[in-house]
Amino acid sequence: MLNFNFSQVLSTLAVAAVPALLGIILHEVAHGWAASRCGDPTAKFMGRLTLNPLPHIDPMGLLAFVLTSLSGSFIFGWAKPVPVDPRNFRNPARDMMLVALAGPLTNFLLAVAFGLLLWAVLLFFPPQEWLYSSTYVFALKSLQTGVLINFGLGWLNLIPLPPLDGSKVVAYFLPPTTAYRYLSVERYGFVILLLLLFTGTLGLVLGPLVRGSALGLLSLLGIV
């Protein structure tokens, strides 16, 4: 029988909610913004260049976020993909790669932003004076989680498995016929990704990248 500590579950969800929503939504907005800059206004016309979470929420992606948060393992979730029409691009192959890169790069920038906020909070509100405050402790946990989640989203999406963003980057450097065959794996990509997640393989691959990136950033900021 499963025995969940519901207070711990709610605490975990509360701490992760804002960093995860920001990371997932801004990831998709970045795709749409980059597509618009490259000549495709589809996302803009469909109202997807917004920070309002409602147009971006995918019920299954939200459920995956909740369930993986409950498990205490690698947190995983997604939003509705931003619509992109490569026919509007000035240079379809190159621009598709740039649009794909925009999402993960945004997550890496968000991770740095959360790290800088954490540094500022620790500098101006020293822990020895504020650790008695539950609000202060919650803020520290949320900022730390923001660093980890956004590094996680960035590295996850750079995995070269269609339909993840990394596959679009790899496809740019392949001959057209090879790239087409490679990207056709997309029909199985989601199933493969879930298998990697639930067998723990995804965590084994991403864990060192996420932890190494987070520790590197926090070390540069003098936090650890």
Residues known to be catalytic: 28
CA–CA–CA angle 67, 72, 76 (5° rounding)? 50
Token code pair at residue 151 = 């590094």
In which residue are the tokens 């997932």 written? 24
Give the bridge partners for 57, in sequence order.
79
The number of residues in the chain equals: 224
Give the separation between CA 110 and CA 214, rounded to whole angstroms: 12
Which tokens hold the place of 128?
Answer: 């020895």
Distance CA 81, CA 31 (A): 9
Asked if 76 contacts 68 with a C-beta cutoff of 8 angstroms, the reply is: yes
Question: CA 56 to CA 79: how far, in whole Å?
Answer: 5
What are the tokens at 194? 């879930």
Residues 182-208 as b/e (b if ≥16 CB within 10 A, e otherwise) read ebeeeeebeeebeebbeeeebbeebee
| CB distance 159 to 104 below 8 Å | no
